[in-house]
Chain A
Amino acid sequence: MARISIEGVTKRYSDGSAAVDNVSIEVADGEFLVLVGPSGCGKSTLLRMIAGLEDITSGAIRVDDRIVNDLPPKDRDIAMIFQTYALFPHMTVEKNLRYGLKVRGTPKAEADARVQKAAKTLGLLPLMNRRPGQLSGGQRQRVAIGRALVREPSVFLMDEPLANLDTKLRVHMRTEFARLREQLRTTTVYVTHDQVEAMTLGHRVCVLRDGVVQQIDTPDQLFARPKNMFVAGFIGSPEMNFAKAKVVGRTVTLGSHAVGLPDDVDLARHDGREIVLGIRPSDFYERADGQFMVDVELVERLGSENIVVFPVAAESVRADRIGGRASAVVDDEEALQAGQAGRTPFTARLDGTAKARAGVPLRLGVAPEALHFFDPQTGLSIGRR
């Protein structure tokens, strides 16, 4: 068991670019912390720095109260699960499981007991004499977990352990990881780019972007109170709708729609100015007296829910283009929207019984408490008291 303190850690390459930029995170004893972000955000680099596989340019990493910056991986008492599993291909499953214990000189009787226990927990007993090459992806994954488990380390690091599995197996293994998390209560840092994994597994989730921490919070808080547009856009699926809106007294006008501000929001400083309004698709509901009268463009029927797409007469805003390192590349999404200035497609997620049909106008409502407001320059959440 251990605490991890990451204090102002930076990783800078020789060309001057920073993969991880002044990151500070406290991971409590027994906590399961998920690092999430798009590819290239520095989450794996940060994990590898905790592991000791990557040098730290500045800052400090402590495990309990010991600074481990210059400690080689073998002296950190940390076990790591790699995305590619990184099993030893020339060893049998049993030898793979036993390797760490052998290296550390664990007495044979104890090693036997631990290997047997882990193999039993993970259903590896019938596979003990096989080589990794003779195993399926899911089985390899379990061996990799087993190899980490037998060590009984004070910290687990997991680098996208589910990314190489097919969808069905991934969902299954996600549940397995959740079960292990409850069973072991070992301090864990888990890296993923998948927000569902992050939300379902993490006690807390840290969202990274361009090597900078955006928000560290519980999954619920991250979803309900994102600190900026990037987090709001990254967490939740379908993605939160964003559009430019104007504050007029205690209302916000979005194209032809006017929405009253909730009581806990104060946008007086922005009165008469443009802000970014964010609404989660799941916060829309069908209601005869709703604020939005919309022209339904498209309905995707998924059985349990219907995804309804409708245009809003307001300028669109991309969450990943505000704050962070601005990028001038025009991507597919922008190309698709070109020529539609002043018109933003919105998405609403309604339940499966909704009668929405393409071409038929529909009235939708949103609870004022569910609205999100952001500064159009900084992308930071504004107005909440």
Chain B
Amino acid sequence: MKSRGSNLVRFLVLLVFCAIWALPLLYILRVAFAAPLDAASGAPSPFAALSLENFRTVLANPEMIRALGNSLVIGVVSTLLVLAIATPAAFVCATREFRGREMIEGWILSTRMLPAFVVILPYFMLFRTAHLLDTMLGLVIMHVIVSLALAFFMLRSFFAELPREVLEASYMEGAGSYRTFASVALPQVRGGLIATGIMVFIFSWNELAFAFTLAGGAVKTGPVAILGFMAFQNVQIAPLMAAASILIAPIAILLILAQKGLIRGLSFGAVKA
């Protein structure tokens, strides 16, 4: 039994952390839902009247709608591609011993070691040569490249948790690797697959650096469009916050729906070691 005092301290510490994390979010929501006049100052009273006017402004902007649509398509397609590539790779690395395995894993990990801005220029040159600049396909490819490592290591930890004997039982029953992967391993890591998919989608949905550098003309994503509110229209704070709220909404819903699986997925390694 923990004493009441230590519980209280823990509660207060967590409260401070929550506040630090939540305040910007609350600010965004407050400004977004304020009447344009109240919001103009950039600091509406917490008790100012609620209004949807800013959302109307944003959603009346076809460029913003198109950008959100682009983000959705790029997010969904890149997520599916990442899962399709990373899942079998993770299964093999988690369940088989073979020469060069550690080297391959190290190489996959290394793709996450360089900061985005360091690799943007080479990718820009590559994409220019391949005529992928300012295309949906280009952004999909870029997001797949960047997300593969995270997805691989998350999925690998899920597969590694499967009892070895259950897979062996499948082999003994006459199944080969593909069958065992599809019929025995995959159904057991369904939760992990969903958690990984959500992480990859969130990355793609939020990603700005590549979307801004490699596209941003004909093909804008949500974050790039929001940036537009700052650059072109002298920071219209209220519509900007409304757009930000719209961008955050699907992520928030996904996170709430998948909270349990995500926490398990992100604390991978912590439980086993």
Contact = CB atoms under 8 A, between A and B. Distances in A.
B64 to A, nearest CB: 43
A53 B174 contact: no
Contacts, number: 59
Interface in B185-234: 187-188
B176 A74 contact: yes
A89 B166 contact: yes
B169 A88 contact: yes
A72 interface: yes
Contacts of A90: 187-188
Instruction: Identify the interface centre among A79, A86, A104: most chain B CB within 10 Å of its CB.
Output: A86
Given A89-B188, A90-B187, A90-B188, A84 B165 contact: yes
A104 B176 CA distance: 11
A273 to B, nearest CB: 51
B interface secondary structure, majority: helix
B173 A53 contact: no
B163 A86 contact: yes
Interface string B146-181: 000000000000000001011011111111100100
Contacts of A87: 166, 169
B184 interface: yes
Contacts of A80: 168-169, 172
B188 A53 contact: no
B163 A103 contact: no
Interface residues on A, range: 20 to 34
A103 B175 contact: yes
A371 B39 CA distance: 102
B172 A51 contact: yes
B81 to A, nearest CB: 26
B171 A72 contact: yes
Interface string A84-106: 10111110000000011001100
Interface string A46-72: 000001110000000000000000001
A86 B172 CA distance: 11
Contact of B165 (A82, A104, A151): A82
B163 A72 contact: no
Contacts of A72: 171, 176
Contacts of B184: 88
A86 B173 contact: no
A151 B173 contact: yes
Instruction: Identify the interface centre among B166, B184, B188: most chain A CB within 10 Å of its CB.
Output: B166
Nearest to B169: A86
A100 B174 contact: yes
A173 to B, nearest CB: 19
B174 A103 contact: yes
A204 interface: no
A53 B164 CA distance: 11
Given A88-B184, A89-B188, A90-B188, A74 B174 contact: yes
B72 to A, nearest CB: 31
Nearest to B162: A89
Nearest to B165: A86
A374 B174 CA distance: 48
Contact of B173 (A52, A84, A89, A99): A99
A103 B166 contact: no
A103 B178 CA distance: 11
Contacts of A82: 165, 168-169
Report, nearest first, the 6 A-B pairs whose CB atoms are least far apart: A100-B173, A86-B169, A86-B165, A73-B171, A90-B187, A80-B172
Given A79-B173, A86-B166, A103-B173, 14 more contacts: A73-B168, A74-B171, A74-B174, A74-B175, A78-B172, A80-B168, A86-B165, A87-B169, A89-B166, A90-B187, A99-B170, A103-B174, A103-B179, A147-B169
Interface of B: 163, 165-166, 168-176, 179, 183-184, 187-188
21 contacts: A72-B171, A73-B171, A74-B171, A74-B173, A74-B175, A74-B176, A84-B163, A86-B165, A86-B166, A86-B169, A88-B170, A90-B187, A99-B170, A99-B173, A99-B175, A99-B183, A100-B174, A103-B173, A103-B174, A147-B169, A147-B173
